[in-house]
């Protein structure tokens, strides 16, 4: 892959932050109920790569304090506020001193979550810091994501062609998500998980809006435009009429 094709997370998600907050699917409440049941204490959650705070807001219902961090200032500026959430723009590489100041010291965090963002991370640096800040015993790390959407066979076939067309412009680490997190290094004691999916009623514009915030397509809108007539034909209803859209979640959970 040409390095010039690799998207820059700060630049991309800063430019589409408002649309990201508007169009990205919402994670099911059952996910956070399940995760909170795994931690003995509920004092502090750290949501890494928080984006506009979708996961952080749900975590705030279960944990006394939530810290959401992201390298994109644009994302953080558009994050949903809650009294018990603090957001911070961080460098892509944090020192232990910065981590202590922004998140917490050793063995202070009940759960670390990464929602649809782990493919951006330097795992050799990230995982040791997770192990340091998680409470021992019982601290939990949870990774999840989605790469596909499902409406019906006709729509899904167009989506698959778009996905393959955009794949060369994706971050190299997106293969982790494509592989449903099964191939990612994960040096934690695994926890059995539950099977979940997102299901939302969406208009055509809302369905397409997710693609407009894809890192592979931001700045390459002409790729999506190529497929719009096919998507419109496959929608099979007035474009304002909502249809059920499903996004299967892949979930990986571990403990220290």
3-class SS letters over the chain? CCHHHCCCHHHHHHHCHHHHHHHCCCCCHHHHHHHHHHCCCCCEEEEECCCCCHHHHHHCCCCCEEEEEECCHHHHHCCCCCCCEEEEECCCCCCHHHHHHHCCCCCCECEEEEECCHHHCCHHHHHHHHHHHECCCCCEEEEEECCCCECCHHHHHHHHHHHHHHHHHCCCCHHHHHCCCCCCCCCCEEECCCCCEEEEEECHHHHHHHHHCCCCCCCCHHHHHHHHHHHHHHHCCCCCCCEEEEEECEEEEEEC
31 CB contacts (<8 Å, ≥6 apart)? 58, 144, 196, 249, 251
pLDDT in tens, 6-19: 445 545 555 566 77
Give 103-154 pLDDT, tens digit per residue: 999 999 999 999 999 988 999 999 999 999 999 999 999 999 988 899 999 9
CATH fold of 3-147+172-199+248-255, please? Answer: Rossmann fold (3.40.50)
Residue extents of the structural domains in the chain: 3-147+172-199+248-255
pLDDT score of 208 more than 90: yes
Q: What is the mean pLDDT of the chain?
A: 91
Average pLDDT of 81-98? Answer: 96
Task: Answer whether residue 5 shows pLDDT above 60.
Answer: no
d(CA 126, CA 114): 11
pLDDT, residue 184, reads 93
- Report pTM: 0.90
Residue 102 pLDDT exceeds 90: yes
Over residues 38-44, mean pLDDT: 98
For position 1, what pLDDT does the model report? 30
């Amino acid at each position: 892959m040409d390095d010039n094709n690799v998207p820059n997370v700060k630049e991309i998600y800063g430019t589409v932050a408002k649309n990201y907050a508007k169009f990205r699917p919402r994670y099911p409440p059952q996910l956070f109920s399940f995760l909170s049941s795994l931690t003995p204490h509920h004092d502090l959650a750290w949501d890494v790569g928080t984006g506009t705070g979708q996961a952080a807001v749900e975590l705030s219902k279960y944990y006394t304090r939530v810290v959401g961090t992201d390298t994109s200032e644009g994302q953080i500026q558009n994050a949903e506020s809650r009294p018990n959430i603090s957001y911070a723009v961080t460098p892509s590489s944090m020192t232990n001193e910065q981590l202590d100041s922004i998140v917490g010291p050793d063995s202070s965090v009940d759960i670390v979550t990464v929602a649809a963002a782990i493919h951006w991370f330097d795992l050799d640096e990230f995982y040791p810091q997770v192990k340091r800040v998680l409470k021992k015993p019982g601290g939990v790390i949870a990774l999840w994501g989605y790469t596909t959407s499902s409406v019906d066979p006709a729509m899904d076939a167009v989506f698959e062609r778009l996905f393959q067309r955009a794949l060369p412009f994706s971050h190299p680490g997106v293969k982790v998500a494509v592989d449903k997190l099964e191939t990612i290094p994960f040096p934690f004691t695994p926890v059995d998980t539950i099977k979940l999916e997102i299901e939302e009623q969406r208009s055509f514009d809302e369905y397409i809006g997710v693609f407009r915030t894809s890192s592979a397509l931001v700045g390459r809108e002409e790729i999506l435009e190529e497929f719009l007539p096919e998507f419109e034909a496959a929608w099979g209803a007035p474009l304002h009429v909502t249809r059920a859209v499903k996004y299967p979640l892949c979930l990986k959970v571990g403990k220290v």
